[in-house]
Amino acid sequence: MSQGIEFNRLMLEMRSMQMEAMARTKPPVSTPEAGAPSFSDLLGQAVNKVNETQQASNQLAEAFEVGKSGVDLSDVMIASQKASVSFQAMTQVRNKIVQAYQDIMQMPV
């Protein structure tokens, strides 16, 4: 008999919790601030920064190849590695974005 009482009490608690949850208003959807950059702007800036890093690396390598004074091989190699790492990081971000898009598209509606 005590199981029936416990079950009834549990059902009453669940119903009251359900009513409380239904009575709550949904929080307002946050809108981006007027001066805040959008995701696409930030992504575009990141791609441009990677491009600038690669161009600087190429210019430094060309300067070393023609024998320009003041250009050291270690500087060329460091710039090359920075460009490589930044490109690999950008590629990984792109892969994660594509994977997230595919996951969203495969969600049942």
- For the four alpha carbons of 40, 46, 51 and 56, in that order, the dihedral sign comes to positive
pLDDT per residue as tens digits for the range 29-52: 666 677 788 888 988 999 999 999
Q: How far apart are CA 21 and CA 94, in angstroms?
A: 38
Cα–Cα distances in angstroms (integers) from residue 86 to residues 50, 51, 93, in the given order: 6, 9, 11
More confident residue, 1 or 83: 83
Give me Rg for the CA atoms of the chain. Answer: 28
Q: Is the pTM of this model over 0.75?
A: no
What digits encode the pLDDT tens for the residues 78-107? 999 999 999 999 999 999 999 999 999 999
pLDDT top residue among 16 and 85: 85
Delimit the domains of the chain by residue range: 39-109
pLDDT, residue 88, reads: 94
